[in-house]
């Protein structure tokens, strides 16, 4: 309890510059944790939705019926559903126009799916750059506060005839808290960024594989339509 009070007292007695650095690091840490909790939920839901959609898609369900089931309620599609909806909607549109070759229909669907995949990846990567920035800059921001605090402590010794370590110890302790806060903000951000980036990469590969497999299915359907 005494240690906690002492740390709080050191923070309150720090210079305004060091206090500003600490406040900035505290805000960065809070924002990072908010993003971490939110991104964890988003990626977990994306994986769960992909599992559910793939199960329905490969169960032998008619593609038209599956498309109507995910668009009939006018809800916003995400993830693999979004790619499927984009590709199949374009395929149906070009099929209704008539006089379209099978390759043209498939290429149009692939273009649409590529755009949907890019947008989906951008949505999944949203705010990851912030975590990377916090993780890479927070230690240096904390170090700046530490350097400033130590400079201030030694500057105060200019008018002292006999300097002792006891005179500069409190000021140095205040300054070192800034470094500790920089590490406290940076370490979770770096760990979360690496983990989430890996999850996003796996989902992107999974979406891309589905796009290629679905393109093959549309290719077969397009050739069957021409033969009929």
pLDDT bucket at 152, cuts 50 / 70 / 90 = confident
Separation in Å, CA 117 to CA 32, 72, 211, 212: 26, 22, 9, 12
Rg of the Cα trace of the chain?
28
The pLDDT value given to residue 32: 96
pLDDT of 13 over the 70 cut = no
Q: How far apart are CA 190 and CA 179, in angstroms?
A: 16
Which runs of consecutive H residues, i.e. helices, occur in the chain?
A: 2-13, 16-57, 63-71, 79-97, 102-125, 128-155, 165-227
pLDDT bucket at 77, cuts 50 / 70 / 90 = confident
Q: Which residue has the tokens 């273009």?
A: 111
Q: What is the dihedral of CA 75, 78, 83, 88, to 10 degrees?
A: -10
The pLDDT value given to residue 20: 85
pLDDT of 1 over the 50 cut = no
pLDDT of 71 over the 60 cut = yes
Comparing 193 with 178, which gets the higher pLDDT? 193
Comparing 202 with 3, which gets the higher pLDDT? 202
Two tokens, residue 168: 């500069």
When pLDDT is averaged across residues 46-60 and rounded to a whole number, the result is 90
When pLDDT is averaged across residues 106-111 and rounded to a whole number, the result is 90
pLDDT of 2 over the 60 cut = no
Q: Taking the complete model, does pTM exceed 0.85, yes or no?
A: no
When pLDDT is averaged across residues 132-155 and rounded to a whole number, the result is 85
C-alpha closest to that of 138 among 198, 191, 195, 197: 191
Greatest mean pLDDT among 1-5, 7-11, 92-96: 92-96
The pLDDT value given to residue 187: 95
When pLDDT is averaged across residues 146-167 and rounded to a whole number, the result is 67
C-alpha closest to that of 123 among 34, 203, 210, 50: 203
Percent of the chain surpassing pLDDT 70: 81
pLDDT bucket at 5, cuts 50 / 70 / 90 = very low
């Amino acid at each position: 309890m005494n240690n906690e009070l002492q740390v709080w007292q050191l923070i309150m007695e720090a210079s305004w510059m060091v206090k500003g650095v600490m406040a900035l690091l505290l805000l960065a840490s809070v924002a990072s944790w908010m993003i971490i909790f939110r991104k964890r939920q988003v990626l977990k839901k994306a994986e769960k939705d992909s599992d559910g959609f793939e199960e329905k898609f490969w169960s032998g369900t008619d593609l038209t019926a599956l498309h109507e089931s995910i668009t009939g309620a006018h809800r916003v599609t995400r993830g693999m559903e979004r790619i499927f909806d984009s590709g199949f909607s374009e395929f149906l549109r070009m099929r209704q126009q008539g006089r379209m070759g099978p390759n043209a229909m498939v290429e149009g669907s692939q273009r649409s799916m590529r755009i949907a995949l890019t947008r989906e990846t951008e949505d999944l990567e949203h705010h990851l750059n912030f975590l990377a920035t916090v993780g890479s800059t927070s230690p240096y921001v904390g170090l700046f506060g530490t350097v400033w605090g130590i400079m201030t402590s030694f500057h105060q010794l200019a008018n002292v005839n006999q300097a002792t370590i006891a005179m500069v110890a409190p000021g140095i302790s205040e300054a070192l808290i800034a470094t500790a806060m920089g590490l406290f903000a940076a370490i979770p951000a770096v760990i979360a960024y690496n983990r989430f980036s890996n999850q996003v990469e796996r989902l992107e590969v999974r979406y891309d594989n589905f796009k290629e497999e679905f393109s093959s299915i549309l290719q077969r359907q397009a050739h069957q339509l021409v033969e009929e």
